[in-house]
Amino acid sequence: MEQVTVLIPNRDKAQLLIELLHSLDFITDIQLISGETNGRNIESPADENFFSLAGIWADRDISAESIRKEAWPER
């Protein structure tokens, strides 16, 4: 099963799209999520900049092996 998320800024147009989707026989479920806090933002939020994390492991000796040893210590 596949899921598609469509963000529509206008409630009237969203209702029009919902009515259209109801007419299609292969649509199994339609959910309307209102408000800016519901749903997710497809674009990266401004406060989460990928490049701001660059170098956070710079002076640490981190390897897959050291992570495994810490996560699953031998008993």
pTM of this prediction exceeds 0.85 = no
What pLDDT digit, counting tens, does each position of 52-68 carry? Answer: 778 887 888 888 988 88
> 33-71 burial by CB neighbour count: b if 16+ within 10 A, else e?
eeeeeeeeeeeeeeeeeeeeeeeeeeeeeeeeeeeeeee
**pLDDT score recorded for residue 23:** 92
**pLDDT score recorded for residue 38:** 46
Q: Is the pLDDT of residue 70 over 70?
A: yes
Average pLDDT over all residues of the chain: 79
What pLDDT digit, counting tens, does each position of 7-38 carry? Answer: 888 888 988 998 999 899 898 888 888 765 44
What gap in Å lies between CA 44 and CA 62, rounded to an integer? 28
